[in-house]
Structure 1
Amino acid sequence: MSKLALVTGATSGIGAAFAERLAADGHDLIVVGRRRDRLDAFAADHPEVTVRTVAADLSTEDGIDTVAALCADEPLDVLVNNAGVAHYMPLADLPADKARELVNVKVLAPTQLMRAAVGGMQRRGSGTIVNVAGMIAFSGPADASVQPRRAVYAGALAHLVAMSQTLAAEVEASGVRVHVVCPGVVATEFHSVQGMDLSAVPRMSPEDVVTGALRGIELGETVSAPGVEDHRLLENVFAADLAAFRGQSPELATRYRD
């Protein structure tokens, strides 16, 4: 029996690369995106597997509910939460509708899709959830010299990292794997649709991002960073996180006392 994968944001970039790789590995697919023409073209190009197309806008409640229902009802072996928007700009300049769109697509939609899928995966004793975040998740401590400012986007990606880590711990004995991949700048349409020209910037290919994520899963990593050569850098970040978490006390810290 073929395995079944659902990929959001499957019409271009990293999502399309995930869909291509999963199809090549023999997975039947549910591909989700906003552009019906591209979804249909992908299905027509992959007659060797069963491809179901779902045109859905994950910035809307209806779109999220439609895809979450599939995650709950279908026996998914793999869920890839890849859909994204950027809207890089300072918070004071970010229109309310764009802020809502960004949070819905990168926070609410992955949360609801994971919630819908993980119970069935646990009951079946297997499954893999892959969230696509980015190295911007680790950029919070950067000072004002780092441009462009993107508080909501960075916060949304940091949410995906922390949620993936905590969910991985919740399900670690169930046979379900949770992984988040954090690429740097990738050669996709992602920035150009936001009016950003990064053609002169060295960029990773979407296929290498997918390769890094899948190899990271094989290596037992919860967080992969395909462009970071020394994985100890990430390990040090996570060790510092835990040290701060474990270093708390009910007593007010000395530096805050009069």
Structure 2
Amino acid sequence: MTPSLTLVTGASSGIGKAFAERLAADGHDLILVGRRRERLEALAAALPDVRVRVVAVDLATDDGIDTVAELCAELPLTMLVNNAGVAHYMPLADLPAAKARELLTVKTVAPTMLTRAALPGMIERGTGILLTVAGMIAFAGPAPASLMPRRAVYAGTLAHAVAMSQTLHAELDGTGVTAHVVCPGVVATEFHEVQGMDLSAVPRMSAADVVTAALTGIRLGETVSAPGVEDYHLLEEVFRADLAAFGGQSPKLASRYQSG
């Protein structure tokens, strides 16, 4: 039996590290991608029962994306975990151009290009799992200004991950390859701390629980998994409303726009 081979981005800490530990325990050989080589090597050394390759690159750069995309295309991956991320929580008017570009590149361009690179081989082999880590902020767009701190670009990247995964999952129907996205809420990692945000008083889910939810959701056939949402019908109602709005369109101008 061919060993499972999984590539995990953002593997040096938090959710990515938890994915690496869980998948190694399940017997997956790993390719660990991140910016901090010393952390990746320490993690690899702690996973002695599987083969682990460390790739220290920055997925905010074209060179970093191209390096990992080549691996995704060349190696017989059974699973790709797009987990790398940066926070940059701030209103768009306050978001420096360099940080906006970094956020879009890491959270949108990199997952797209890595997934694109991995797909042909997975389809040819007739098996593969494409998993992206997003977050419940993907569903927070309708929130009023009084309810949520503003982070338009960050929320947009997560919403992109949800819509892309749903659409890709449908595109791949019958191929043996599936696409999934996991949307946790606030998770107990250093993700917010690096931006100076103290969330120690906020109830937070563990990274290990996020991984459990993601892998279980895949087994349950969920395209979109929400680790902290007890009633999955809430998400199904969102999806039905999306499709109802999509199906309710017409080439005729809606009456509410005709008075102008």
Q: TM-score, normalised by structure 2?
A: 0.98
**Which whole-Å deviations, capped at 9, do the CAs of 1:131-176 have from their partners, x for residues lacking one?**
0000000000001112321000000000000000000000011001
Q: Which amino acid aligns with 2:105?
A: N
**Which residue pairs with 1:136 in the alignment?**
137
Query: Where in structure 2 are the equivalents of 1:82-161 lying within 5 Å?
Result: 82-161=83-162
- 1:7-65, CA deviations, whole angstroms, 9 ceiling, x for partnerless residues? 00000010000010110000100000000001111111112110000001001111011
Give 2:34's aligned residue.
33
Aligned to 1:233: 234
Q: Output the CA distance in 1 between the equivalents of 2:106 and 2:252.
A: 39
| Cα separation, 2, equivalents of 1:47 and 1:13 | 20
Partner of 2:55: 54
The aligned counterpart of 1:208 is 209
SS of 1:43 mapped into structure 2: helix
The number of equivalent residue pairs is 258
Query: Which amino acid in the other structure matches residue 23 of structure 2?
Result: L
Q: 2:220, 2:47 → 1: CA distance? A: 29
The answer to whether 1:165 aligns with 2:166 is: yes
The correspondence of residues 15-26 of structure 1 with structure 2, limited to 5 A, is 15-26=16-27
CA distance in structure 2 between the partners assigned to 1:146 and 1:197 by the alignment? 19
1:148 and 1:219 mapped to 2: Cα distance? 33
CA distance in 2, matches of 1:140, 1:55: 34
Secondary structure at the aligned position of 1:115 is classed as: helix
AA at the equivalent of 1:98: K
Once the two structures are superposed, what CA deviation does each residue of 1:87-137 show, in whole Å capped at 9, x if it has no partner? 000100000000000000000000000000011101100000110000000
The 1-side partners of 2:41 and 2:154 are apart by 30
Q: Distance in 2 between matches of 1:161 and 1:101?
A: 20
Q: Deviations over 1:175-206 (max 9, x none)?
A: 01111000000000000001100000000000
Give the aligned partner of residue 46 of structure 2: 45
State how far apart, in whole Å, the 1-side matches of 2:219 and 2:17 are: 21
Q: TM-score, normalised by structure 1?
A: 0.99
Q: Which amino acid aligns with 2:26?
A: D
Deviation digits for residues 56-77 of structure 1 (CA, Å, limit 9, x no counterpart): 1001111011111110111000
* Long gaps (5+) in structure 2: none
After superposition, the CA RMSD in angstroms is 0.6
Gaps of 5+ in 1: none
Taking only the aligned residue pairs, the percentage that are identical comes to 74
